Amino acid sequence: MSNTTILDKNAFGPGAMGFTGGAEYINTCSTREYIRSVTVEQRLPIAGIRSVSKEERAVRYTNERLGALKLDLNEFKKFFKEEFNELIGRTGFRYFLRIQKLLGHIKQYKDRIELTRKGMIARNFLGCAFILFIPCSIVEKYIETPWPIQVTIPRVT
């Protein structure tokens, strides 16, 4: 996939990361290279890009919705064209959700999953863990060189 096929307003500036729904990308972390790419070469300053699987998108979606306190299972099915338990069941995230349920952090109903009061603290830790695991790991690699040939991204399942 060429970096010129991606245009997302979410990633502006050196080191900024964008998510198009099907791909995640990062701009070069070098300010000098970012400016040269945009002004001299007149191209997007994307240093790296990766495809994001349907399963990972479902995990992200679930995490974001629970971060906002409620996941509507009907909306999930509309968005992913698949039942929640089937799609999430193919990921390791299903174990995390079971543990959260046992700990009383989430409550599942027929049509939704809600964060409990007790789960609100866990929500903050989950957000920190995600940022440290994926975005920070990616940025560390891209700080080493402005235009790396290959970067191994931690696998999320």
Helical residues (DSSP H) of the chain, grouped into ranges: 31-35, 54-67, 73-80, 84-88, 93-102, 119-133, 135-144
Q: Which pLDDT tens digit goes with each residue over 55-91? A: 989 998 998 899 889 999 999 999 999 999 999 999 9
Q: Which pLDDT tens digit goes with each residue over 105-157? A: 999 999 999 999 999 887 877 667 666 666 666 677 777 777 777 666 555 54
Domain residue extents for the chain: 3-52+135-144, 55-116
Pairing of strands 112-115, 17-19: unpaired
The reported pTM is: 0.70
